[in-house]
């Protein structure tokens, strides 16, 4: 399903923009807090993956040019040459690897299941949620995991903030998505009568990478810069944004 839709994007793409030799245009989604979001005080993109991408770019003596890009438009914008790199909570999948190129991982995390506080049942895995109305973010790896686990009633959302609002209002029974994003939003966002299920085991630990066009000759340099930054700078960024240890 995802491969077919991305394939149509690739088939229709045209690379009209020429990258300046001293800059890198980085696309990030505005709703992936704490990985990428717009700071309301400055209207600028910020977040953990934005900081990582900026550090990597500057390590290569390039100037990062950050562009706000809706999550669903990230890969189309990259393939069409409108941006040079994706820095967002866009996880590596086999389907996406057919279309774009992923750097070495900069972070890894799992999905989290969230339910209302009044639901005190245990959910050891996604199969235990098969009878629920479950929300997930459209275009993410977590929608695929819900379907693979046999969850039939899946509602899709543009962002996890809207998902949490609908869960709080009883429009869905549960939500499933990026664990760091859900934790962060529940910690700093509006107070909601929902909880992240403890003891839940996600089906996989997913890798977060920087994303480039296939064949981009800059990718090997990106990987070398990541390797240099992994021992110290990337863990510093992860701690600053209160994430788990970096990959």
For 57-110, what is the HEC assignment? HHHCCCEEEEEECCHHHHHHHHHCCCCCEECCCCECCHHHHCCEEECCCCEEEC
Name the DSSP class of 121. -
* One pLDDT digit (tens) per residue for the chain, 247 residues: 434 344 433 333 445 567 777 899 999 999 888 999 999 999 999 999 999 999 999 999 999 999 999 988 999 999 999 999 999 999 998 889 999 999 999 999 999 999 999 999 999 999 999 999 999 999 889 999 999 999 999 999 999 999 999 999 999 999 999 999 999 999 988 899 999 999 999 999 989 999 999 999 999 999 999 999 999 999 999 999 988 644 4
Say what the alpha-carbon torsion angle 197, 201, 205, 206 is, to the nearest 10 degrees.
-50
Residue 28: the pLDDT is: 97
User: Which residues in 53-78 are b (16+ Cβ under 10 Å) and which e?
Assistant: bbbbbebeebebebeebebebbbbbb
* HSE-CB of 32 using CA atoms within 13 angstroms: 28
Record the pTM: 0.79
The three-point CA angle 117-110-149 to 5° equals 80
What homologous superfamily is domain 2-107+208-240 in, according to CATH?
Answer: Periplasmic binding protein-like II (3.40.190.10)
Residue 232: the pLDDT is: 94
Residue 188: the pLDDT is: 87
Residue 17: the pLDDT is: 62
Say what angle helices 233-240 and 219-229 make with each other, to 10 degrees: 70
Which among 95, 79, 102, 88 is positioned nearest to 178, based on CA atoms?
A: 88
Compute and round to an integer the Cα radius of gyration of the chain. Answer: 18
Residue 20: the pLDDT is: 75
Check: CB of residue 183 under 8 Å from CB of residue 130.
no
Residue 32: the pLDDT is: 87
**Residue 48 structure tokens:** 């953990």
Q: For the chain, where are the E strands, in sequence order?
A: 23-28, 31-32, 36-39, 44-46, 63-68, 85-86, 100-102, 107-109, 111-116, 134-137, 154-157, 174-178, 194-196, 206-208, 211-213
CATH code assigned to 111-196? 3.40.190.10
**Residue 246 structure tokens:** 């970096």
- For CATH 3.40.190.10, the residue range(s) in the chain are 2-107+208-240, 111-196
Location of structure tokens 């949620």: 129
Residue 245: the pLDDT is: 46
């Amino acid at each position: 399903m995802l491969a077919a839709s991305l394939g149509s994007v690739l088939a229709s793409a045209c690379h009209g923009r020429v990258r300046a030799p001293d800059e890198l245009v980085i696309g990030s989604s505005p709703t992936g807090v704490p990985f990428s979001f717009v700071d309301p005080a400055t209207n600028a993109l910020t977040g953990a993956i934005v900081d990582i991408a900026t550090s990597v770019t500057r390590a290569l003596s390039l100037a990062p040019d950050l562009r706000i890009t809706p999550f669903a438009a990230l890969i189309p914008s990259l393939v069409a040459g409108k941006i040079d790199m994706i820095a967002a909570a866009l996880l590596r999948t086999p389907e996406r690897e057919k279309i774009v190129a992923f750097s070495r991982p900069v972070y890894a995390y799992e999905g989290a299941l969230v339910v209302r506080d009044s639901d005190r049942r245990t959910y050891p895995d996604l199969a235990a949620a098969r009878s629920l109305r479950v929300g997930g973010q459209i275009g993410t790896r977590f929608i695929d995991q819900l379907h693979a686990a046999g969850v039939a009633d899946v509602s899709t959302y543009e962002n996890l903030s809207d998902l949490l609002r609908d869960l709080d209002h009883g429009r869905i029974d549960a939500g499933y998505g990026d664990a760091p994003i859900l934790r962060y939003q529940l910690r700093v966002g509006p107070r909601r009568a929902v909880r992240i299920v403890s003891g839940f085991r996600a089906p996989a630990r997913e890798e977060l990478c920087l994303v480039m066009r296939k064949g981009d000759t800059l990718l090997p340099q990106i990987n070398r810069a990541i390797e240099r930054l992994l021992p110290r700078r990337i863990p510093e960024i992860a701690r600053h944004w209160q994430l788990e240890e970096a990959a």
